[in-house]
Amino acid sequence: GENVEQHPSTLSVQEGDSAVIKCTYSDSASNYFPWYKQELGKGPQLIIDIRSNVGEKKDQRIAVTLNKTAKHFSLHITETQPEDSAVYFCAASLGGGGFKTIFGAGTRLFVKA
Amino acid sequence: NAGVMQNPRHLVRRRGQEARLRCSPMKGHSHVYWYRQLPEEGLKFMVYLQKENIIDESGMPKERFSAEFPKEGPSILRIQQVVRGDSAAYFCASSPQASGSSLTSEQYFGPGTRLTVT
């Protein structure tokens, strides 16, 4: 079945710096790749997603890139702020007849003021 | 437009008791998903339901766990004869479109129910 690996598990950056989180997936049939932000005591919140027919998507300070050949995708946060501190999860989803969304193990991001 | 609602937010049960977790999807959403999250870990898929149907329960333990999404009312995740290992946060998500289509829909998560088994 699908397996999603996420790195790093912990990331500490200085306010204003960029943060990059990387994920790889195993099933080439996956066609939807969402990213979630989870703050302490809350449910995951969808922050950006990308579908397999595009290679890059940007929303203000957040961007996601997808390399289908290598089966990896990345989250880029620029100009980080303390409120970006949270746990970030990548996920991969299979389409076309069967449902599965598999999540990575998460990256705990600390943004130091 | 209210988001996904889950209750209770916190639930304490003694070993052997039953736990019932409820999830009301976002308005207009007819697809519900349940996930389990252990401390410091990612979310593990448990079950996917549409109204009155279980579509995929491959992530749900065969024994003691069951889920339903009736025509009227919230989706229910039921855990019978709870054990300490069931202690976790259980999240529900909903989406407006079938996930079996080529265009997979976004899932919106509720705040979770934190189950503690003593």
Q: What is the per-residue pLDDT for A99?
A: 64
Question: Residue A60 corresponds to which tokens in the numbers above?
Answer: 């203000």
Q: In this complex, do A43 and B102 lie within 8 Å of one another by their Cβ atoms?
A: no
Q: What is the per-residue pLDDT for A112?
A: 95
Contacts with B41 from chain A: Cβ below 8 Å: 105-106
Triad A71, A110, B88: Cα angle to 5°: 75
Cα distance between residue B82 and residue B12, in whole Å: 10
Q: In this complex, do B109 and A100 lie within 8 Å of one another by their Cβ atoms?
A: no
Q: Check pLDDT > 90 for residue B104.
A: no
How far A106 CA lies from chain B's nearest CA (Å)? 6
Give the DSSP H/E element, type plus range, for residue A109: strand A107-112
Q: Check pLDDT > 50 for residue B102.
A: no
A24-58 pLDDT tens trace:
999 888 888 999 999 988 999 999 999 888 889 99
Contacts with A6 from chain B: Cβ below 8 Å: 42
- The residue ranges of DSSP E strands in A8-71, in sequence order, are 10-14, 19-25, 30-38, 45-51, 56-59, 62-67
Question: Residue A1 corresponds to which tokens in the numbers above?
Answer: 């079945």
- Bridge partners, residue A14, by sequence: A112
Q: What is the per-residue pLDDT for B40?
A: 78
Q: What is the per-residue pLDDT for B98?
A: 57
Question: A63-75 in b/e burial notation, b at 16+ Cβ within 10 A?
Answer: bbbbeeeebbbbb
- A43 → chain B, closest CA residue: B111
How far B33 CA lies from chain A's nearest CA (Å)? 10
Sheet holding A72-77, edge to edge: A4-7, A19-25, A72-77, A62-67, A56-59
How far B71 CA lies from chain A's nearest CA (Å)? 21
DSSP H helical segments within A1-113, as ranges?
none
Q: What would the mean pLDDT of A9-36 be, rounded to a whole number?
A: 94
